[in-house]
Amino acid sequence: MRTIIEKVNKNELNTEIIKEAGRILKEGGLVAFPTETVYGLGADALNEDAARKIYAAKGRPSDNPLIIHITNMDALGKITRNVSEKAKKVAQHYWPGPLTMIFDKSEIVPYGTTGGLDTVAVRMPVHDVAKEVIDAGGGYIAAPSANTSGRPSPTTAQHVAEDMDGRIDMIVDGGAVDIGVESTILDMTVDPPMILRPGAVTKEMLEELIGEIDVDRTLIQPDSKKVPKAPGMKYRHYAPKAELTIVEGNIDQVVCEINRLTDEKQKEGYKVGIIGTRETVGRYLYGDVKCIGTREDEATIAGNLYGILREFDDDKVDFIYSESFATDGIGSAIMNRLLKAAGHHVIRI
Ligand code: AMP
Ligand code: MG
C-alpha cells in the first residue's frame, strides 16, 4: 500500500486534503492525523472492519479498546447511554480538550471498536485539523496513537511515517503536537469517577469541578497484582529499545550518580544515553546527552519525552539514564509514561 503524506497548515486548512482524508475514512480506510495530545490513527469507529484494520496496522492486541473521537455533544448522545450530570459538567469545562471519558456504549458502537466491552471511551479534541478530519470522515473516528504497539507515541508526522509508512492510506501532517502525552482517561461509569490514565487534565482540576475523584491503584502501585482498568495500561507501552533507568533524589547527587553509571557502562563498551534538563545538561561528562526541557515549565518535558525516546532508538544506545521529575500537574502524566518506559526500574539515592 502506498501511504499519501500531505502537509496542512493549522491556520489555513486545505479543504482538498481534508476532503480526501474524509473520503478515505468513509470508505473504511486508515488516516493518521494530529491532535493536541499525540498523532492519532483514525478509522470509522462505527465500521467494524475499518476499526479492525487499526489493530492490524499497529500490531495492537485485540482486547485493547479504541477511543472514539467526536466534535459535538449530539454525537456523544448517539454512541453512549447514561451520561450523568457530572459528566456533562466535565464535558462543558474540558471538552474540546485532552480528556477522554468512559460511558456505557449504545447499540450502534460495534464490539470490534470497544474490544468486546459494553463501555466506550470518547474524546472531543480541540486541534483544528483533528476536528476537520473527524467531521469529514463522518463524525465518529476511532483513533489510538499512530505508533506501532509498544513504541513511543508519535508527536510528529515523521514519527508516524517511521512506524506506518506502507501500512495506512494517508498521513495528514499538521506539524508537531502541542502536549505530547496522551489524554487523561476518566471512567464516568463508576462513582466517584476514576482516573485510569493521567494526562494534561489533572485529578486536582477535576476535583475542583465535581468533587471526589479516584485513581486506579495500579497506576500508583506498579507491583500490585491487580489488572489495570484501562486494558491498554497493562501492556509495556512507550518503550525505547534500550534499557531505561530513572535516577531519583537530590539533583546534585543524581547528576553525580548518572555520570558515574555512564562512565562505568562506557568502559564496558556500551553506548549510553542521558535524559537531562536545561538546568543540568552542561554538567554531564560522558554519553549521548539530550535536553528534555526545563524544570521551570514541565510542559516542555511532556512535549519532548516521546521524541527523545525515539531519538535514542535511532542512536542505538544500549542504556539510558534519566533524571526524575515532579509528580504534580502534568508531571503525573510524565512520570507515569517514564516509569512505564523504564519498566519501573528506579535507582533512589
Ligand atoms: P490509545 O488511544 O492508544 O492512547 O489507548 C487508548 C487507551 O484507552 C487504552 O489504554 C485503552 O485500554 C483505554 N480504553 C479505551 N476504551 C476503554 C474502555 N471502554 N474502558 C477502559 N479503558 C478504555
Ligand atoms: Mg497508544
pLDDT tens-digit series, residues 57-95: 999 998 899 999 999 999 999 999 999 999 999 999 999
Report pTM: 0.95
Give me the helix-helix angle, 298-315 and 331-341, nearest 10°: 20
pLDDT band at 230 (very low <50, low <70, confident <90, very high): confident
Q: What is the pLDDT of residues 305-323, one digit of tens each?
A: 999 999 999 999 999 999 9
Q: Is the Cβ–Cβ distance between 171 and 29 less than 8 Å? A: no
In this structure, how many other beta carbons lie within 10 angstroms of the beta carbon of residue 81? 13
State the Cα angle at 3 between 148 and 242, rounded to 5°.
Answer: 25
Q: Give the side-chain half-sphere CA count within 13 A for 20.
A: 17
Does ligand 1 have an atom closer than 6 angstroms to the CB of 231?
yes
| Mean pLDDT of all residues in 146-169 | 96
Write out the CATH class of domain 243-348. alpha beta
Segment 8-13 shows an average pLDDT of 82
Residue 223 has pLDDT above 70, yes or no: no
Q: How many residues does the chain have?
A: 349
Give the nearest ligand 1 atom to 67 CA: 15
Ligand 1 pocket member 67 (CB < 6 A): yes
CA 309/CA 298 separation, integer angstroms: 17
- Protein residues with C-beta less than 5 angstroms from the ion ligand 2: 145
Is 38 touching ligand 1 by the criterion CB < 6 Å?
no
186 lines ligand 1 (CB under 6 A): no
The domain spans of the chain are 4-220, 243-348
pLDDT score of 270 more than 70: yes
Nearest CA to ligand 1 atom 20: 230
**Fold match flag (4-220 vs 243-348):** no
For ligand 2, the distance from its centroid to the CA atom of residue 153, given in whole angstroms, is 6
Provide the mean pLDDT of the chain.
95
Domain range 4-220, its CATH number among 3.30.70.2190, 3.90.870.10, 3.40.50.720, 3.40.50.12280: 3.90.870.10
Residue-wise burial string across 170-198, b where 16 or more C-beta atoms lie within 10 A, e elsewhere: bbbbbeebbbbbbbbbbbbbeeebbbbbb
Question: Which among 102, 114, 306 is the best mutation to test ligand 1's pocket, defined by most ligand atoms within 8 Å of the CB?
Answer: 102
Which are the contacts of 317, defined by CB distance < 8 A and separation ≥ 6? 242, 271, 272, 273, 288
